[in-house]
Structure 1
Amino acid sequence: MRALRFAAPILLGILIGATLITVHMGRQIEQLMYTVRVLNEELTAANRELESARDSLSDQRLQVVRGIKVDVRLPDELTSYEERSVRLEIEKTVKGWLQPLHGQDVKALRFPVVPQIIDGRDVDVDGKVYRLQTRIVYIGEEIIVYVEGKPERSSVPIT
């Protein structure tokens, strides 16, 4: 009985320590998974830009679209994890929509095309739907798009 009295606090300490280590490791794993997703997205974009650059070298007279950059503004009510996930998914989706513009002659592109592709479309992220609105578009060798994503109360995403 006396040995049990001394062993109980030790066992309790071990259990509490194991729980805290599990929570800490879970956070680190979540952060690493997010980093891997971001790096994979950047690698995919870099590969697309490299392929586009190789194609444009054959005809240097033309100024062609080589890259697409998307900047997303979101409401302040999101947690940092939700904001990063939503931002990453919206950037990925918008880049996918604008992918057909890669390699096209910049002078031949019409400015209204980009907002027409993006404005009013919805993106579903983890069950929440965000309606997109284009704020600023720069068309050059790199298309830069500033997009605002507003959460919709109840709607079905349009893809």
Structure 2
Amino acid sequence: MTRLRAERGFTMVELIMVMVLIGVLAAIGVPRLVGDNSFAAATFGDEVASSLRSAQKTAVARRRLVCVNVGGSAVILQMAEKPGAAGCGIALDAIGAATTASGVTATSHTLYFQPNGLITSSAAGHDTVRGAVLIHLDGKERRRIVFEGSTGYVQ
């Protein structure tokens, strides 16, 4: 009587499944382990763009001046206390943006959103301004948020 010897080892399907799982874990886990903040930079860029759009819409909807201060790691919005006021004194805390991720920064700007929708360089509203807020990750540009003062468009 011949006795069948049990085969030892892994099947091809088992080997492929292990390789796929290792690949998925490497794709997800390695960037987190090495401290890549690309997701944080993308999120902060989206929040900055959203804050600028909200400032423009708030200025038009409430017919008041909205002052925006874009700093290195935060966007602060303030609104004039009454229509026609020349300065901003009411903080719009719920609309701003901030990041705590290391290496993520934005270029500094001070913008004034007028009640008619224009973006200006002063509270008086005489000179429209156009430009871009640049989001950097470790000194490299990751996102450019363009604003057009004559139309109030933020992209």
Instruction: Specify if TM > 0.5.
Output: no
* Structure number having the greater strand percentage: 2
What TM-score, normalized to structure 1? 0.35
Say which one has the larger Rg: 2
What TM-score, normalized to structure 2? 0.36
* Structure number having the greater helix percentage: 1
